[in-house]
Structure 1
Amino acid sequence: MTKSEEYDDIPGTIVFDADRSRQGYHLNMFCISLREQKNRDAFTADASAYLDKYPMTPEQRQAVLDQEWNLMLELGGNIYYTSKLAAYHGINFQELAGIMTGMGSTDYRAMMLAGGRSIEGNRNKKEWEDK
């Protein structure tokens, strides 16, 4: 991302905006392709050859192969598209959120049932640095 936005200061949050949309177009098209069985089969048979169909950056491609979920979002992935890749790997959305937050799915579920992440200490990245 080249320009800075006010929302870049929200800790633990990657905002999917127009710039990220452009940056992640091919990554997202790959992920959404996995909704079709024939594409999942092709990816399973030869992941490298299947990924060659999508002109992602080398960093995006490696993030896919390494299942680096947060990095995919930083590189333009949309959570709803990347969740298709997670589903391919047998990871449901709650488990994915648990992985991405580092909490695990049980603690993530409990946090959400309790009303979500507290705003206290989470307003900006400086508050995280002060912890």
Structure 2
Amino acid sequence: MGTRKDYDDIPGTYVFDADASREGYHLNQFCISMRLQKNRDEFNSDEAAYLDKFPMTAEQRQAVLDRDWNGMLALGGNIYYTSKLAANDGINFQQLAGIMTGMGQEKYRKMMLDGGRSPEGNRYQSEWDEKGES
């Protein structure tokens, strides 16, 4: 994407900014199309053919087919749009967060009820580099 930004090394985070919006435009147009039943029906009957309507990159298209949720975000997907695809697959937002964090739904839910992710160990990559850790 574009120039280096101060927030590029936030650990485990894809910031959806103007550059990501441009990169993911067609991916996000596909995902938001999932809000309509007729589009979900068409997609569910032939995923590859439906995806042909959206000029995504090969990587974006494969991320959709593989349901690579983090990959979609890395390729410019917006979490609120990609969650439409998850909903089509019967995955609610809490389940999706559990999948994306690798924690699973129950562990993720418990963490959030207990106050969220601990800041301990969640440093900018540059902070780890300064300490000689990775």
TM-score band, normalised by shorter chain: over 0.9
Identical amino acids, percent of aligned pairs: 70
- C-alpha distance in 2, partners of 1:70/1:37? 25
Partner amino acid for 1:25?
Answer: Y
Q: 4+ residue runs of structure 1 moved beyond 2 angstroms?
A: 125-131
Q: TM-score, normalised by structure 1?
A: 0.95
1:90 maps to 2:129: no
State the 1:82 CA deviation: 0.1
| Aligned partner of residue 7 in structure 2, secondary structure | helix
Deviation sequence 1:18-40 (CA, Å, 0-9, x none): 00000000000100101101000
Partner amino acid for 2:32?
Answer: I
Once the two structures are superposed, the pairs formed by residues 1-131 of structure 1 within 5 Å of their partners are: 1-125=1-125, 126-127=127-128, 130=133
State the 1:94 CA deviation: 0.4
Consecutive unaligned residues of structure 1, counting only runs of 5 or more, are: none
How many residues are treated as equivalent by the alignment?
Answer: 131
RMSD: 1.5
Contact 1:121 1:127 in 2 (8 A): no
Change (3 A) 1:18 1:32: same
State the 1:70 CA deviation: 0.3
State the 1:2 CA deviation: 3.2
